């Protein structure tokens, strides 16, 4: 009996280890998707909060009953604390997208840790929460970035579908077509709630694409919920 119990405990420990490796939590390896049987997908937004576009996006998500994950820049969090607070209060997930977004690939581990720490502190002071997810700017996952993520116990999150909504030539139809052509269970969709272009096409696009995806049986979840889906 004791022998059987020991084997059972050992198998449980092994399963936990394999699960942790599979979702990439705290090991510095980037997660781009997570296959699951429930057709769960994650809608994500980078670079905000923005005083106009983030608010519009939150309103659209609320109308459709969708929760998303926002990878926020610390400088913008400081500029618009009321928006980041609203995101938290309405049940959206907030991730860390560094303090400044500037040339992070040039930084060593200490520099990346500093960028993450400043943003983490800003989010925590406003929302009383510590982000657990980190999306490196431009999707670069250098050795220094991996080391910083491991040190600070962050899961590094990239994406399956890049909508390229930041490009001046991208229309809302382009965004919708891109998503609908490439979507599958477990997809992580990259959008932006802050773009440098004159007018963001993202709010209009997500207003259109959410009902289309729901019709096809997809369920919108946060990234954390997605990577824990079976």
Active site positions, annotated: 46, 192
Q: How far apart are CA 80 and CA 76, in angstroms?
A: 6
Angle 53-64/202-215 helices, nearest 10 degrees? 20
Torsion, CA 29, CA 31, CA 37, CA 39, rounded to 10: 180
Q: How far apart are CA 102 and CA 118, in angstroms?
A: 14
Q: How far apart are CA 66 and CA 215, in angstroms?
A: 14
């Amino acid at each position: 009996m004791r022998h059987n119990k020991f084997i059972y405990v050992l198998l449980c420990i092994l399963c936990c280890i394999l699960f942790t490796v599979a979702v990439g939590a705290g090991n510095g390896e980037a997660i781009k998707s997570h296959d699951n049987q429930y057709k769960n997908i994650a809608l994500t937004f980078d670079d905000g909060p923005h005083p106009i576009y983030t608010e519009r996006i939150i309103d659209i998500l609320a109308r459709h009953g969708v929760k998303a994950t926002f990878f926020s820049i610390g400088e913008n969090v400081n500029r618009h604390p009321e928006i980041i607070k609203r995101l938290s209060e309405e049940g959206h997930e907030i991730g860390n997208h560094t303090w400044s977004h500037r040339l992070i690939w040039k930084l060593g581990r200490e520099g990346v840790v500093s960028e993450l720490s400043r943003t983490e502190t800003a989010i925590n002071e406003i929302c009383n929460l510590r982000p657990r997810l980190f999306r490196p700017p431009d999707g670069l996952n250098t050795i220094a970035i991996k080391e910083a993520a491991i040190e600070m116990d962050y899961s590094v999150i990239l994406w399956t579908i890049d909508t390229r909504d930041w490009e001046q030539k991208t229309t809302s139809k382009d965004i919708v077509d891109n998503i609908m052509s490439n979507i599958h269970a477990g997809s992580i969709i990259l959008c932006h709630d802050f773009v440098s272009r004159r007018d963001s096409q993202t709010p209009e696009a997500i207003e259109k694409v959410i009902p289309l995806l729901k019709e096809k049986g997809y369920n919108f979840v946060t990234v954390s919920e997605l990577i824990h889906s079976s």
